[in-house]
Structure 1
Amino acid sequence: MATPIYEFAQLPHVTPRARVRASARRDRAPGETPNVGVIYNPRSHGNQGADFDCGICPQVHIAKPGDRSQLPEALAEFAARGIDLLVINGGDGTVRDVLTCGAGIFGEDWPAIAVLPKGKTNALTVDLGVPADWSMQNALDAFERGGRIHRRPIDVSPIGEHKGNRILGFILGAGAFTTATRAGQSAHRLGAFNSMAVAVTTLWGVLQCLFASRQNPWRRGARMAIHLGTQLSPMAHSEHGDPQWRQLLFSSTLETLPAGIKPFGRLRSGLKLVALDQITRRTTLLIPTILRGRAPTGLRERGIHQITTPQFTLEIEDQFIFDGEAFPAGKYRVAQGPELEFVTP
């Protein structure tokens, strides 16, 4: 929303009053008009300079939180009304904030969710097959006659300090991904958004890895330790580069990504991650082929690891990126959140 989540201590907390008000879920009678709650972020890229139509019908309740601290109260009011549909009007960052703040209110019993793609990249709506011009009326129509897709967000919680806090979202990255996110902001300023921004940033990253030295952030990556599953097994490392460093980490529960990239190969469902050791320039030349889903054999020996896992821990000495925003170095548990039902065309 309005201010970045840089520290877990700054995350809004759900008050006991909000939890009590959230207990008013109801059963909708067949044919009854759905009760709808809308979180509208006027600061999202696609909403700037535009007014939102608030007069669609009396069963549509609009909230325009000025910052993240107001989100729990707004979501608790929606829960108290027993909404059938939660509409998120904003980008991936807005979705992350709503899911994070709503976790303590809705728990495992969320209403159906529709997302209007108003951000700069909108990776979630790409996965859901939602068109760029999807409107509020389209979402209401789809609630009755559209499809449903179930997704479980990534659930990130710190280990140690601020234990008990959590954030929910869909794309996590570190190392060169952090560098790529900063480059993506430059692409946005040049007018490239959505899949175009992803394609431009990916191409620039490949070129950097081909021609830069290992001291370049694109090739150096970040010092991190990754342990997989409930047994916390150390993730394998090839003989390429420093074993305490990874050039890139990318993780998601989405199945279709912007620009048609397929970094996880044939892996589709669940919590997936791809990690790159400090790979050679020759292996870097394979990245465009890998991103098209046509990976050659022997990737792990080359330093590219594509894995699916129920959970993993990440201990990192640099910032990581979660749905477009930077979070501090530290040790984290990364798992899957509640299963959510998304409305699709």
Structure 2
Amino acid sequence: MTNVALLSNPNSTGNREILPSVRSYCVKTSDVFHYEVDAVDEIAKALETIARVKPKVLVINGGDGTVQAALTELYHGGHFGDTPPPVAVLPNGKTNLIALDLGAEGDPLKALERIVEMAKHDLHEHLVARELIALSDGEEGSKVVLGMFLGGAGLSEFILYCRHKIYPLGLPNVVSHVLTVFAALASALFGIRAKFLPNRPPPVRISLMRDGQFQGNFAVLIVTTLEKLLLMRRANRDKPGLGRMQFMAIDQKAGAILRFAFAVIFGRLGKVSQPGIHLEQGDLIRIEGKDSNVVMDGELFSAQEGRPIVLKSTEPVSFLRLAA
């Protein structure tokens, strides 16, 4: 039995610099079984091979898209039977939302070293349960993709804008994200339209099966099961019967965006109901609209007329938390 199995994607942005050091560390460390994939469609074979060494922990070394593909295959592939190992995620890629939620930040190699040390002992106190978001078109037998963070409406346009217009400039991540925020504010808050700014999102209809329907243009749409997104915390999040997916939508109106900004700054978000700010929880969400894009853990999906995006929460999956 191997303590740690490491699944790496060499094509991840962060791995272009740190992977040689990771390889060197794995060669020197007998507790680590290292498997590299050149494309996400190789992940099924990778997990099939990894299952044979029966690791205590499965570590994913790649961006959010790699994590999404690995979680999807881990959940549906059945390679580990009924007892899949807990998952740890190294801080890598551009956004690292999943890694940050699990307390992994900073140097990926140091995070790996800590995981290897943790795996030598009882992991019980370091394990946390997280539900996943299952995305499909709702049809029987359709492909299901699993993730933990989905951005839609205006937010998806901002993400795509950053990916296609800002990242190619080769700027540091922090600078790229700041520029994207300013461009998003110019587009959403002030209504400025220009080729060098993000596209205006098309109207979208969002249905929470328990709590009715929202329809219109939204500056922000978020669905997540991540715990550390402070903007999604609500006083009633732990009450039973509300559903496990956190949902937030902000109307594409200057007043709603400003109310949202002030609510975040002064810690009032979710404490009182405010016009144009929609905060809910649910286990089943439908997103409908023509050419309405959503980005889940870095991967793009589109709703079409008569072909909605359907989100369901899964049963909890075990993860390894690095934070104390």
Residue 179 and residue 122 in structure 1: after superposition, are their counterparts in 2 closer, same or farther (change >3 A)?
Answer: same
Q: How many equivalent pairs are there?
A: 297
Residue 63 and residue 268 in structure 1: after superposition, are their counterparts in 2 closer, same or farther (change >3 A)?
Answer: farther
Q: Deviations over 1:44-94 (max 9, x none)?
A: 121104412331434422221121221111111112332221110112111
1:290 to 2:280 alignment: no
2:289 corresponding residue in structure 1: 316
C-alpha contact (below 8 Å) 1:274/1:305 kept by paired residues: yes
1:272 to 2:272 alignment: no
Residue 61 and residue 72 in structure 1: after superposition, are their counterparts in 2 closer, same or farther (change >3 A)?
Answer: same
Secondary structure in 1 aligned to 2:34?
Answer: strand
1:167 to 2:135 alignment: no
Structure-1 separation of matches of 2:233 and 2:279: 6
Using the TM superposition, give the Cα deviation of residue 114 of structure 1 relative to its aligned residue in structure 2, in angstroms: 1.3
Counterpart of 2:116, as a letter, is: L
Structure-2 separation of matches of 1:171 and 1:143: 27
With structure 2 as the length reference, what TM-score do the two structures score?
A: 0.80
Runs of at least 4 residues off by over 4 Å: 196-200, 213-220, 263-269
Structure-1 separation of matches of 2:13 and 2:171: 11
Counterpart of 1:70, as a letter, is: E
Counterpart of 2:171, as a letter, is: G
Secondary structure in 2 aligned to 1:78?
Answer: helix
Secondary structure in 2 aligned to 1:191?
Answer: coil
Q: Which of 63, 73, 78 is the equivalent residue of 1:91?
A: 63
Secondary structure in 1 aligned to 2:27?
Answer: coil
Residue 245 and residue 290 in structure 1: after superposition, are their counterparts in 2 closer, same or farther (change >3 A)?
Answer: same
Q: Deviations over 1:136-167 (max 9, x none)?
A: 2221112345622221121112223x833111
Alignment RMSD, CA only? 2.9
C-alpha contact (below 8 Å) 2:4/2:119 kept by paired residues: no
Residue 85 and residue 175 in structure 1: after superposition, are their counterparts in 2 closer, same or farther (change >3 A)?
Answer: same
1:122 to 2:96 alignment: yes
1:62 to 2:34 alignment: yes
Structure-2 separation of matches of 1:215 and 1:223: 19
Q: How does 1:1-345 map to 2 (within 5 A)?
A: 34-49=2-17, 50-51=19-20, 52-53=23-24, 54-106=26-78, 109-135=83-109, 136-144=112-120, 147-160=126-139, 163-185=141-163, 186-188=165-167, 189-193=169-173, 198=177, 200-212=179-191, 220-229=200-209, 234-235=212-213, 237=214, 243-257=215-229, 262-263=231-232, 265-266=234-235, 270-279=244-253, 281-292=254-265, 293-295=267-269, 297-299=272-274, 302-317=275-290, 318-329=292-303, 330-345=307-322
Using the TM superposition, give the Cα deviation of residue 202 of structure 1 relative to its aligned residue in structure 2, in angstroms: 3.6
Residue 184 and residue 266 in structure 1: after superposition, are their counterparts in 2 closer, same or farther (change >3 A)?
Answer: farther
With structure 1 as the length reference, what TM-score do the two structures score?
A: 0.76
Residue 203 and residue 214 in structure 1: after superposition, are their counterparts in 2 closer, same or farther (change >3 A)?
Answer: closer
Structure-2 separation of matches of 1:75 and 1:118: 20
2:241 corresponding residue in structure 1: none
Structure-1 separation of matches of 2:273 and 2:131: 30
Q: Percent identity?
A: 25
Secondary structure in 1 aligned to 2:255?
Answer: helix
Structure-2 separation of matches of 1:277 and 1:249: 9
Structure-2 separation of matches of 1:208 and 1:81: 51
